[in-house]
Amino acid sequence: MTRPTVNLNHDAEGISILVSGELLTQTLSSIEAAFTSFTPTGNKVVVDLSDVQAMDTSGAWLVADLTRRVQKAGGEIDLHGASPAYSDLIATVSKSIPDDPVTEIHHRSFGDWVESVGKRTAGGWKDTLSMLDFLGLTLHRLGRTLLNPRRLRRAALVSQMEEVGFKAIPIVALMGFLIGVVLAFQGATQLKQFGAEIFVVELISISVLRELGILLTAIIVAGRSGSAFTASIGSMKVQEEIDAMRTLGLDPIEVLVIPRVVALLIMLPILGFISDISALIGGGLMSWIDLDVSPGMFATRLKENTGIWQFAIGMIKAPFFALVIGVIACWQALQVKGSAQSVGQRTTSSVVQSIFMVIALDALFSIFFSVMGV
Amino acid sequence: MDGTVLQKTTQADTQREAVIRVRNLTNQFGPQVVHQHLDLDVWRGEVLGIVGGSGTGKSVLLRTIVGLNKPTAGSIEVLGVDVLNGPEQERRRIEQRWGVAFQDGALFSSLTVLQNVIAPLREHTGMSESLMCALGSLKISLVGLPQLSCGKFPSELSGGMRKRAALARALAMDPEIVFLDEPTAGLDPIGAAAYDDLIGELQNALGLTVFMVTHDLDSLYAICDRIAVLAEKRVLVEGPIEEMTKVDHPWVQEYFTGPRARAAQEKGQSR
């Protein structure tokens, strides 16, 4: 490719511009400045195009734009030596140049940022209301499904149970095991100082069964399945699949949301239980290795000193966490608007919000159960 | 079936320059053979219409030529470059010399129309932003969209406008070859006719080569110089539309002599 060149000559009659080389999109940047910096004064301008070897619409635009500016300044312009094909192209392009072309892309300014912060703040309340509305709607559909179980889409439910539950077992079990190991290890160092090694059993069992097992499982599930719900339903929203469902008389809540929420309601307690057991195994193993608490002793002490309520409190929380994760993920998905970027933003919000809500709810439960004295 | 292939090896053929040369192409997905020993030439400056029944691999052919689908066997040359096995650098350069407008636009949903159109300019040229915007506005106006649509997002456009915006993006780098996948599908007849005129006009003004997958008989009559019919896993016949009616093949006969074809033909002649 020959780079185009521009030569300007001022003479008695006016200005002559000699353009040569290839005026193509790929090469245009080298002569752009020469053209745009040229300010017509009303004198006659002669543009010599006889040495132009190639021209496309971009090249034609430069010439057409120059022509327009010269004529606007009241000058005369003569396009000299252009081949008929180039003349035609320049004519086509100048016909199509918009009267009010967009000259710059709107970049986000500080003002826009402030505006968006304000909008988000003001919109927060509306979002909360909308989410509560959606929670009510989901509970209503859930109740209707319970009264008439035939409405439940069993195939979807089973496949969701596999996705959110069965496939999460390895990661949840591993996480539980490691939590047990860490608690035993850290507890041992502290308890050894008082010669109270045996209390490591209570340390592990109460903290895991009551709080950590189910809380950490819920956080993993929120990250794993909450994001998947938002992304998949959100993409369906972008593709207008949700609208298609409505026109076919299918209720998106019943078809998409209920199987997912019910799958979470069934699987989260099971996953929580698995993580509880794995944590006890991990903690027991570590106590055996590090503190010489034999598995038999661990089991006996667990049975005698840790009440069933410790376990029950953990399990009671599971369905609430499941509902929070499912409702937030599906609500966020239905807020997706038109673009792929929006799916990403909503998926992020979904995970952040559901993890936050799970922790906040856990704190509320903690206060509630202490007040109740269990 | 060889008797049905129109052999048009005239003197003109030797002067024409093939910008796309497909040889012995085979595409197979699992047990399903889509193309087998498919040969096709596209000449510089022509508008080639690809027709064929559903599932005959029209879009697959387009995707294979532009490198989105790796064929099982065969060779493809575009503008003299082997796009399948040629050097990486040459293939990259070729990609700047063609433009593709997908069936549903495939515009970037998080960018405005103008940003979509200038995306390739930003990537491949060192222009200033104001020049890119000016050229982007020009392309948008060339395809017949109002300047107002520059700042809109694809989700805010109608289907027809999205198709036009996709064409504007395909034309951004002033390509030599434009691939269009069902450009007029889903447009109203007036919009479709305007789109046909637009393609014809651009093709004349810019000297484009157009490779168009279409089912629109009106388009075929109005702007296509040549038609290639895909059937039986290959290009069954190719030639100007007038010759299609003479082809002795049931599908081709039904396609080009059916009531819709006759109506389109009359319309095409009255233009």
**Range in A40-54, A227-241, A261-275, A330-344 with the lowest mean pLDDT:** A40-54
Nearest Cα residue in chain A from B201: A92
CB contact under 8 A, A93 and B124: no
| Range list for CATH 3.40.50.300 in chain B | 43-77+87-97+175-271
Instruction: Encode B14-79 in three state secondary structure.
Output: HHCCEEEEEEEEEEEECCEEEEEEEEEEEECCCEEEEEECCCCCHHHHHHHHCCCCCCCEEEEEEC
Q: Which of A1, A102, A339 to mutate to test the interface with B (most CBs of B within 10 A)?
A: A102
A55, A57, A235, A243: best to mutate for the B interface, most B CBs within 10 A: A57
Instruction: Pinpoint the alpha helices (H) of chain B.
Output: 11-15, 58-65, 88-95, 113-124, 129-142, 159-170, 189-206, 217-223, 241-244, 250-257, 259-270
Least confident of A86-95, A316-325, A352-361: A86-95
- Nearest by CB to B125, from A26, A104, A341: name it: A26
Mean pLDDT of A244-250: 86
The per-residue pLDDT for range B168-186, each reduced to its tens digit, is: 999 888 888 999 988 888 7
pLDDT, mean of residues A327-338 = 93
In A102-121, the residues whose Cβ lies within 8 Å of chain B are 102-106
Is A34 near chain B, with CB under 8 Å?
A: no
Q: Which amino acid is at B13?
A: D
Record: contact B174-A25, CB cut-off 8 A? yes
Question: CB distance from A84 to chain B under 8 Å?
Answer: no
Contact B154 A338 (CB under 8 A): yes
Residue B270 is predicted with a pLDDT of 62
Residue-wise pLDDT tens digits, A124-143: 889 899 999 999 999 999 99
Q: Which residues contact B234 (CB under 8 A, 6 or more apart)?
A: B35, B36, B37, B38, B39
Can you state the angle between helices A213-221 and A258-291, rounded to 10 degrees? 130
Does any CB of chain B come closer than 8 Å to the CB of residue A83? no
Tell me the percentage of chain A whose pLDDT exceeds 90.
Answer: 48
Q: In what order do the strands lie in the sheet with B98-101?
A: B98-101, B177-181, B209-213, B47-52, B226-231, B234-239
- A97/B contact by beta carbon, under 8 A: yes
| Residue B162 confidence (pLDDT) above 70 | yes
Q: Give residue-wise pLDDT tens across range B121-157.
A: 888 887 888 888 888 998 898 888 888 888 888 888 8
Mean of per-residue pLDDT scores for chain A: 89
Size of interface A-B (CB pairs under 8 A): 103
Q: Which of A92, A97, A341 sits opposite B109 (nearest CB)?
A: A341
Q: Judge residue A366's burial from the number of C-beta atoms within 10 Å of its C-beta, 0-12 exposed, 13-18 middle, 19 or more buried.
A: middle
Name the band, by pLDDT with cuts 50, 70 and 90, for residue A268: very high
Q: Would the CB atoms of B174 and A24 count as touching at under 8 Å?
A: yes
pLDDT in tens, B42-53: 998 889 999 888
Determine the pLDDT at residue A239: 85
Structure tokens at B7: 């052999």
Query: What phi and psi values does residue A325 have, to the nearest 5 degrees?
Result: -60, -50
Question: Are B115 and A105 inside 8 Å of each other by CB?
Answer: yes
Average pLDDT of the residues of chain B: 83
Which spans in A207-307 are helix H?
A: 213-221, 227-238, 241-247, 252, 258-291, 295-305
Rg for chain B (alpha carbons), in Å?
19
Nearest Cβ partner of B109 from A26, A65, A340?
Answer: A340
The whole model's pTM is what?
A: 0.73
- What is the set of domains in chain A, with CATH numbers? 5-96 (3.30.750.24), 123-372 (no CATH)
Tell me what the mean pLDDT of segment B85-106 comes to: 85
Asked whether the predicted pLDDT for residue B4 surpasses 60, the reply is: no
> Are the beta carbons of B142 and A100 separated by less than 8 Å?
no
ipTM over 0.85: no
Closest CA to B138 of A57, A33, A35: A57
Q: Answer whether B134 sits within 8 Å of A104, measured CB to CB.
A: no
Residue B178 pairs in a beta bridge with: B99, B210
Q: Does B43-77+87-97+175-271 carry CATH code 3.40.190.10? A: no
Q: A367 pLDDT band (50/70/90 cuts)? A: very high
Predicted local confidence at residue B6, as pLDDT: 41
CB contact under 8 A, B138 and A98: yes
> Which of A126 and B206 is assigned the larger pLDDT?
A126
pLDDT-derived band of residue A229, with 50, 70 and 90 as boundaries?
very high
